[in-house]
Amino acid sequence: MSDRKSEDTKMNDPGRRKFLETTALAGLAGTSFGLAGCMKSDPASSNGSAQAGPGTAAGGQTQYEVPPGKLDDYYLISSGGHSGEVRIYGCPSGRTIKRIPVFNIDPMVGWGITNESKAIMGTLPDGQLKYWTGDTHHVHGSYTDGNYDGEYFWVNDKLHGRVARIRGDTFETDKITELPNIQGQHGLFTDKRDPVNPDINHTTRVFAGAEFHIPLPNDGRDFDSPDKYGCLFSCLDANTMEVRWQCQVDGNMDLVATSYDGKYAASNQYNTENGVHYEEMMSAEHDACVFFDIARIEAAVAAGNFITIGDSKVPVVDGRKSANPDPRTALTCYVPVPKNPHGVNASPDGKYFVCSGKLSPTCSVIDLSLVEKWFAGELGDPRNTVVAEPNLGLGPLHTGFDGRGNAYTTLFLDSKIVKWNVDAAIAEFAGDKDAKVIVDSVDVHYQPGHGYTSMGETKNPDGKFFNSGNKFSKDRFLPVGPLHVETEQLIDISGEKMALIHDHTAYPEPHDAIIVSANLIKTRQVYDLDEFPDATKSEQDSGIERNGNRVHIRLVSRAPAYSLREFTVKKGDIVTITLTNLDKVEDLTHGFGIPKYNISFIVNPQETKSVTFTADKPGVYWCYCTHFCHALHLEMRSRMIVQE
């Protein structure tokens, strides 16, 4: 990275501002992120990890480093956008640690190829994948007592209206649920405490907001009747991943946030006009942040006050304004906020929800205790729940918190991150003209979409880092053609002034992410052979089983050989190969590939996977280990003979 002086000069160059002005109208609300950074190491650290904190070099720059052999202090768990995957980076180093296939096919691990992954992704009657594309935006984890517990992480699929769950011990997808009667599943968040039983202090529900309103049911009728369109807010059971209920709302939902007491979920909304064309979605000066009273909704479902839509059996309650005139019985509260808001975030003290304006230069601070008063019928106009609306700059989108009373908001059009004080904003809104709301700002390159602080989505943010995910990286990296990488910039927020400390590339197109302390994640390195019912537990148990034209090949791998040197099948046979890795050594993964048959997958230590295909090409096909495992890796092969 160039020296700070030249970098500051570039940031404030008029040409840069001209570039931003000419591109501002091309897109008002980009989203991205992934990560960046380096950090100063502490040789006294007992756990071998880098220690966060600024250090000053001779040139006056803040220095961060994670030296070779040292570990990052955080996992940055990010969506991958229309790659359909989730990505894990080390933070603050910016090292890419893992790419988790979720809604996409990944021939490295065999996701979408093995029978086990196909069962999770979902197949058609002929065994082919129902979908093999996806669009991930928002990743959030499971909580215990308001903090991450590392058990699960959830991510949305905007493209096909799905929610996926990722195990925290293996960072592998274990369940995918398609939501009925929705399109554009965008915002997603977990609850932090059970809304009905407050003694349950961990995640029990996952909330998912639909962005696109569609005819209900969407079966070919009413496409020219926008008054019959609707959006549904869905609640999934965190354990079973089944959809528990849905709630119809006015407008289109964007992002989701939840309260720390478990009582409320909220979604910022645009297009409360219910328009179907671009210009119709921008006519109102105020849209809304809608709050859902979870206990009331579940009581309505229990009382049978719901409908079902189309072929779905999921109960749907009516949360539209017209159906909820009395706050004392209302299922929803629509708080007016300006204009086409993008982003809603809950403050770590549990007091406020911050909703960004996007087409307004403001953020609206909503007092949750006043929302509760509105539901009790004690407040009147729901607009009275707004206790601050600071003017921050052009294109506010996402907000993170440092735990010291400060908020950090991305300004998409200004290409800045602005640091502002929540209490000062409240004081200013109440009439204090001397309140100092904006504390600091820093330029980023360019047009930040998503941004988030370290541990900022918990009640214990540590106030060390803010990551800015920037959509444009013009002139920032070596040119590689028309498609540019995106820029992830890590900012030190530990002091009064923010310091941009590093930038890193992210392959398009990541969106939201969370930064999780590494000590909260407990991963496993070797599977338990007994958790795979179809495991082949020894070389002696391997072999060939034939039932008509169905052939089952049982193989084991133990470096540097497969248990069968060769096996023979007939043309037209439907072949299932089940492979078990009997090695118990950490990091000793084997692969299995068959030329000309689109078969490629891996098995980790003590893991079992299977594939099924039709042997339709006679000849000799060398099955080989695709994952480097041993000095004799190249010799690790088995011969599949397909006879006429």
Give residue-wise pLDDT tens across range 42-58.
333 334 444 444 444 33
Per the model's pLDDT, the better-predicted residue between 98 and 277 turns out to be 98
Residue 619 has pLDDT above 80, yes or no: yes
Q: Taken in order 440, 444, 446, 451, is the CA torsion positive or negative? A: negative
Tell which residue, 221, 255, 238, has the closest CA to residue 512.
255
Give tens-digit pLDDT for 305-315: 999 999 999 99
What pLDDT, on a 0 to 100 scale, did the predictor assign at position 536?
97
Q: What confidence tier does 65 reach under pLDDT thresholds 50, 70, 90?
A: confident
Give tens-digit pLDDT for 497-536: 999 999 989 999 999 999 999 999 999 999 999 999 999 9
Give tens-digit pLDDT for 115-134: 999 999 999 999 999 999 99
What pLDDT, on a 0 to 100 scale, did the predictor assign at position 281?
85
Tokens of 582: 């009997």
Strands (E), 82-146: 85-91, 96-101, 139-144
What pLDDT, on a 0 to 100 scale, did the predictor assign at position 63?
65
Strands (E), 259-310: 264-270, 286-293
| Burial of residue 302 (number of CB atoms within 10 Å: 0-12, 13-18, 19+) | exposed
- Region 281-299: mean pLDDT is 93
CATH of 529-643, one of 2.60.40.420, 3.90.550.10, 2.60.120.650, 1.20.120.80: 2.60.40.420
Q: Map out the domains of the chain as residue ranges.
A: 8-31+44-120+129-196+204-520, 529-643
Residue 245 neighbours by CB distance under 10 Å: 21
What pLDDT, on a 0 to 100 scale, did the predictor assign at position 282?
84
- Pairing mode, strands 550-558 and 574-581: parallel
- Region 424-431: mean pLDDT is 98
User: Where does 398-481 have alpha helices with state H?
Assistant: 422-429
| Domain 8-31+44-120+129-196+204-520 falls under CATH 2.130.10.10 | yes
What pLDDT, on a 0 to 100 scale, did the predictor assign at position 638?
97
> CB–CB of 341/282 below 8 Å?
no
Q: What is the mean pLDDT of the chain?
A: 91
- Region 12-35: mean pLDDT is 39
